[in-house]
């Protein structure tokens, strides 16, 4: 039984765009991106760029055709002014001379387009003598690393979404930084207020103890006066 050629092409295309393949270039969606040309072109050369099995750009000395917003720089690099997820996948460039003879062909280069990380916010809560900070991310996303800073100094051992530290050790501003392969964002500074609350509680306990001892002493003095 013969299989429809269009089905074969579709299956092959899906294999070509398998997201499990490793990437040669990582770029941030919505930003400018470039796949570099590593071959020196002559003015008479014909340049062709392919996305998977589809020709997306063809350029000669006198003619230029492309699909979408793909453009070529002076040296033949493939450039997007605003790269999108649909631009991800394998690319290949071919160069022919004026007679159609192949001069050069690149290896397949895989482009991965990743959303830039959002700007995080930091919240904190008091837990007895400790302060717990949480790095909140909206909208919810994955594929990035957390980093915590205190007084603009990186806390090397803290790599999770939360940070818990003794209140008396948090004397400066805390920030959270998100990073992925293509971008990074840092939260606004947060100053904890928990330790001052704990200190007030300690002072309150001390005052209560002092008052209790004073009352006890006054009571003993009154009893002593009665005996006299």
Cα separations in angstroms, 60 against 37, 46, 64, 84:
15, 5, 6, 26
Q: What is the pLDDT of residue 222?
A: 72
Q: What is the pLDDT of residue 202?
A: 63
What is the overall mean pLDDT for the chain?
84
Q: Using a cut of 0.85, tell me whether the model's pTM lies above it.
A: no
Tokens at residue 171, please? Answer: 């004397």
Element (H, E) at 194: helix 194-227
What is 17-114's CATH number, 2.60.120.10, 1.20.1090.10, 3.40.50.720, 2.60.40.10?
2.60.40.10
b vs e for 67-86, b when ≥16 Cβ sit within 10 Å of the residue's Cβ?
eeebebeeebebebeebeee
Confidence tier at 196 by pLDDT (50, 70, 90): low
49, 97 Cβ separation under 8 angstroms: no
CATH 2.60.40.10 in the chain is located at 17-114, 121-201
Q: What is the pLDDT of residue 8?
A: 32
Instruction: Tell me the C-alpha distance between 196 and 124, whole Å.
Output: 14
pLDDT, tens digit (0-9, with 9 covering 90-100), for 56-112: 999 988 888 888 777 788 789 999 999 999 999 999 999 999 999 999 999 999 999
Instruction: Tell me the C-alpha distance between 6 and 4, whole Å.
Output: 5
DSSP summary character for residue 190: B
- Nearest Cα to 135, choosing from 145, 127, 143, 126? 145
Q: What is the dihedral of CA 72, 21, 105, 42, to 10 degrees?
A: 20
Close Cβ partners of 123 (under 8 Å, ≥ 6 residues apart): 133, 134, 136, 190
Q: Which fold has domain 121-201?
A: Immunoglobulin-like (2.60.40)
Task: State mean pLDDT over 148-168.
Answer: 94
214 pLDDT more than 90: no
174 pLDDT more than 90: yes
- Strands (DSSP E) found in 16-137: 25-28, 33-35, 46-51, 54-59, 64-66, 70-72, 78-80, 89-96, 102-105, 109-114, 121-127, 130-136
97, 103 Cβ separation under 8 angstroms: yes
Close Cβ partners of 122 (under 8 Å, ≥ 6 residues apart): 133, 134, 135, 136, 174, 175, 176, 187, 188, 190
Peptide bond into 139 cis (omega under 30): yes
């Amino acid at each position: 039984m013969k299989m429809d050629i269009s089905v074969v092409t579709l299956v092959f295309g899906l294999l070509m765009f398998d997201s499990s393949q490793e990437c040669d270039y990582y770029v941030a969606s919505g930003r400018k991106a470039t796949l570099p040309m590593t071959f020196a072109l002559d003015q008479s050369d014909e340049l062709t760029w392919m996305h998977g099995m589809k020709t997306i750009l063809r350029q000669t000395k006198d003619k230029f055709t492309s699909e979408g917003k793909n453009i070529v720089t002076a040296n033949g690099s493939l450039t997007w002014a605003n790269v999108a997820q649909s631009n991800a996948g394998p690319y290949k460039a071919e160069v022919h001379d004026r007679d159609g003879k192949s001069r050069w062909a690149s290896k397949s280069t895989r482009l991965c387009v990743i959303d830039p990380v959002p700007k995080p916010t930091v919240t904190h809560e008091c837990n007895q003598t400790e302060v717990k900070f949480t790095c909140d991310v909206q909208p919810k996303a994955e594929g990035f690393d957390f980093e915590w800073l205190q007084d603009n100094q990186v806390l090397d051992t803290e790599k999770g979404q939360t940070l818990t530290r003794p209140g008396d050790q948090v004397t400066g501003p805390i920030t959270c930084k998100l990073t992925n392969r293509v971008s990074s964002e840092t939260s606004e500074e947060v100053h904890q207020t928990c330790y001052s609350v704990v200190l007030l509680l300690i002072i309150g306990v001390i005052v209560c103890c002092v008052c209790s001892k004073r009352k006890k002493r006054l009571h003993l003095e009154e009893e002593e006066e009665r005996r006299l």
